[in-house]
Structure 1
């Protein structure tokens, strides 16, 4: 059971690929056999609403960040020139109209490759990121893993980085003050594939991340913590 959220530390809500291509009824089969988590839309909306309300009254830095996918593969539903306009943000996950919510566009699974996301998080001093969006086993998983491997919410105490000798020992000890990466496990979803149903793919993907790369939490607990901060 993860510890409660600490909203006295700089925090970012990172929303990944909440785009219409994943929710258009006539294109769902493009991604696989059925979709997991029927509560995805409801939970994402609750998360965004609660986070925006909390950041408007918080004295601690908080920010909503949107990541969107623009495919370079012709014929992809997420290609910018596809007639379905699948790259368009879902109505309930559209960036704030006042421009206060940064938007980064990627063309691969990781939100950190080809974008300035890592530099942005470090510049803002973010120590806690809350991740939600689509899809669990692809862009969400890759982003969570890279966030952990890059240490974007961590701080080195003393001189770094970690340098390893040919025999596997460290050149010198480096202490790391860990930040927090939270995956909102029921505010993400995926599709069945490889003979496995969507809920199985989703559950295994979350289980592979939880405890190693992030802490998995439910939207209800995250929303409750956000509301208590208002």
Structure 2
């Protein structure tokens, strides 16, 4: 996996997803794995573009001004790391993310975050459609139990597995944090 012209995209790693109003999640290691990835990426001096969901929905835990809109501890941008804000599922829609990545010369986008089936999946799909090589770091993602529309619930682990399989089939290379770390270039950004 060539990551010499790659950018890391942490998607919606926000505190609001811990509110009791959200259904159950499956990946209790999402923060640990995401922070490991972020630290190694920064150590390799590769670009990071953070994404935050600024909900426009009344009562959302992710609305600007609500405590839950804040990024999770350790996922805040460092100086020089841009933050892209969005109000829809894809980080590419209604933002300058594509322009930022193209100006950096990025051809590969490494994505992780919350939630696998919503904003992560939509961002990966749109990124692939825009011509980026997309990489999904599956064990640094998380999602929620999902109502099945018939009175039942699809477990979050199943929702995650199906979306990862779909993305891997057509839209992205799927890897885990350990595999991604092994592929990191040792020399930094190849600008």
For residue 191 of structure 1, the aligned residue among 144, 150, 157 is 144
| CA distance in 2 between partners of 1:138 and 1:95 (Å) | 22
Q: Equivalent residue of 1:143, what SS? A: helix
Partner-residue secondary structure (3-state), 2:170: coil
Distance 1:187 1:204 in 2: 16
SS, match of residue 42 in structure 1: helix
| Structure 1 runs (4+) greater than 6 angstroms displaced | none
Structure 2 partner of 1:112: 92
Task: Report the TM-score when normalising by structure 2.
Answer: 0.91
User: Is 1:37 matched with 2:59?
Assistant: no
Query: Of 6, 9, 12, which residue of structure 1 is paired with 2:2?
Result: 6
Larger radius of gyration: 1
Structure 2 residue aligned with 1:211, among 159, 164, 169?
A: 169
How many Å apart are 1:205 and its aligned residue? 1.0
Q: Which runs of 5+ in 1 are unaligned?
A: 56-61, 154-179
CA distance in 2, matches of 1:91, 1:39: 14
Aligned-pair distance for 1:102? Answer: 1.0
Tell me, what secondary structure is at the counterpart of 2:85?
Answer: strand
1:158-197 equivalence runs, <5 A: 180-194=133-147, 195-197=153-155
Matched, 1:229 2:186: yes
1:31 Cα deviation (Å)?
2.5
Equivalent residue of 1:45, what SS? helix
- Alignment-derived partner of residue 59 in structure 2: 75
Query: Could you tell me which residue of structure 1 aligns to residue 50 of structure 2?
Result: 66
Q: Which residue of 2 aligns with 1:18?
A: 13
1:138 corresponding residue in structure 2: 118
Q: Which residue is 1:95 aligned to?
A: 77
Q: CA deviation at 1:211?
A: 2.7
Unaligned runs of 5+ in 2: 148-152
Deviates more, 1:137-146 or 1:120-129: 120-129
Q: What secondary structure, in the 3-state scheme, does the structure 2 residue paired with 1:6 have?
A: coil
Superposition pairs of residues 115-130 of structure 1, within 5 angstroms: 115-130=95-110
